[in-house]
Amino acid sequence: MSRQERTEWDDAARAATYVQWIACDKKIRETSRVTGVPHATVAYWAKQWEKDGPPEHLDSEIRKNAYEFVDHANRVRKQAMEKLEELIPDAEVKQLSAIATVVGIMDDKIRLAQGLATKRTETVHTLPTKEEMKELMAGFADGLVGAAEDRASDTVSIEAESVVVNN
């Protein structure tokens, strides 16, 4: 049995892996497959990156790799869109769907690498119905009346106590 040699990864490889990890939405297995860095190594680095972020000394290398990645992804997306446009007149739905998927995936990866959102969240607010509003207002009015009655009884009892104390 031969002993497997340990691979030393330089800063450029770590920075490239970090950019791919971000572009792969922090999926370790996918990052490992794309970069060729072993799964265990990516998992170890990712754990450190999640805890502390990437090392500061890699900042310039990460920026360089992110720029190259975004530039390449933009070219691929552009080519896919050109191919999609070319195929539209006489293509089957499956072909168009596959190319449209590539465009969407590349767009998401570009947005991830640039630190932009890839999902849209929409919050919908609904007002209460007329009946619900009547119930709410009735409850509110009952609460006000109850509070006023409590205050009036407290005021009367305090006034009565002060009359007894003063005499």
Residues 82, 84: Cα–Cα separation, whole Å: 5
Question: Tokens representing 8?
Answer: 């030393």
* Contact assessment for residue 24 and residue 46, using Cβ atoms and an 8 Å cutoff: no
Q: What pLDDT is attached to residue 158? A: 62
Residues 89, 86: Cα–Cα separation, whole Å: 7
Residues 37, 19: Cα–Cα separation, whole Å: 13
Question: Tokens representing 32?
Answer: 């490992």
Low-confidence ranges of the chain (pLDDT < 50): 1
Q: What pLDDT is attached to residue 32? A: 92
Q: What pLDDT is attached to residue 1? A: 44
Q: What pLDDT is attached to residue 38? A: 92
Long-range contacts of 111-119 (CB under 8 A, 24+ apart): 112/22, 112/23, 112/24, 112/25, 113/19, 113/22, 113/23, 113/66, 113/69, 113/70, 113/73, 114/66, 114/70, 118/25
